């Protein structure tokens, strides 16, 4: 699972504070929606609160809510996550930042950076863990299976994108002031899932993918040859499979 660090907070969360304070382009205009269906509603029996308290920070006070929630069932397994929601007072943005990953080896220090950033900027932040619920090594095989079987839902990207969408619905339920939209961020495969969630969910006002640019999968081959002199496994799925058209229809963001 991707680990948060002080550098991540400085490079991602704090600059996003500036983004959120300005007018945002309606990025949904750049996407075609595809045919995948996602569940947007979160029911009361799909989440439970495990922490609710007020913390003091440099910028003021921050309400922290921690939930366990269910996002979807994938290949017979129910996906569950923890969502940590930070709501600073006073609020200075109607948008909420959602990021995915894990806290790594020093959760207290990393959480402190995120808490301070949220408090100083006045921007609500939601952190989702366990995306994906399964071992990262299944990412390659699940995409290959999705291409070979012609079933895009067999890709690990599908439940990962669903986790973003259900997390947004949960934040809308628990926020003291419902957000007007969301900025979502994730690294590598989580960044790719963020693109897919953005394609299908008009509540996303902006996204900040990290580590891996999948804005247009058809351009990956040339970019990888230029940068590394060879193709990655992702490029081989797309260029060597006769059944890649359906996969690209659903998982090529633009």
What CATH number did the domain enclosing 87 receive?
Answer: 3.40.50
- Residue 161 has φ and ψ, to the nearest 5°, of -65, -35
* DSSP code at position 90: S
Three-class DSSP category at 223:
helix
Q: Do 231 and 106 belong to one domain?
A: yes
For the beta carbon of residue 88, count every other beta carbon within 10 angstroms: 24
Inter-CA distances, 150 with 147, 246, 249, Å: 5, 7, 11
Q: Do 12 and 99 belong to one domain?
A: no
In a domain, 1, yes or no: yes
* 4-16 residue pLDDT tens: 555 555 455 555 5
In a domain, 180, yes or no: yes
Looking at the chain, how many residues does it have? Answer: 254
Helix 220-228, helix 233-240: angle, nearest 10: 140
* 171-216 residue pLDDT tens: 999 999 989 999 998 888 898 999 999 989 989 988 888 776 677 7
> Across-strand partners of 57?
60
pTM (predicted TM-score): 0.84
Q: Do 123 and 186 belong to one domain?
A: yes
CB 195 within 8 A of CB 111: no
């Amino acid at each position: 699972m991707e680990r948060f660090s002080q550098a991540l907070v400085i490079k991602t969360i704090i600059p996003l504070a500036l983004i959120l304070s300005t007018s945002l382009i309606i990025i949904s205009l750049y996407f075609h929606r595809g045919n995948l269906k996602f569940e947007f509603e979160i029911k009361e029996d799909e989440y439970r609160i495990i922490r609710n308290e007020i913390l003091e920070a440099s910028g003021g006070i921050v309400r922290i809510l921690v939930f366990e929630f269910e996002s979807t069932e994938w290949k017979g397994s129910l996906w569950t996550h923890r969502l940590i929601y930070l709501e600073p007072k006073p609020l200075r943005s109607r948008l909420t930042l959602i990021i995915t990953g894990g806290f790594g080896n020093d959760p207290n220090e990393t959480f402190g950076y995120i808490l301070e950033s949220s408090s100083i900027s006045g921007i609500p932040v939601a952190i989702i863990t366990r995306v994906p619920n399964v071992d990262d090594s299944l990412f390659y095989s699940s995409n290959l299976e999705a291409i070979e079987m012609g079933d895009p839902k067999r890709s690990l990207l599908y439940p990962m994108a669903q986790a973003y969408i259900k997390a947004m619905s949960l934040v809308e339920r628990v926020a003291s002031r419902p957000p007007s939209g969301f900025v979502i961020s994730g690294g590598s495969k989580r960044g790719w899932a963020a693109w897919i969630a953005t394609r299908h969910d008009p509540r996303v006002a902006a996204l900040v993918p990290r580590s891996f640019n999948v804005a247009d999968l058809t351009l990956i081959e040339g970019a990888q040859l230029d940068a590394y002199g060879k193709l990655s496994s992702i490029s081989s799925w797309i260029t060597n499979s006769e059944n890649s058209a359906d996969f690209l229809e659903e998982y090529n963001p633009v």
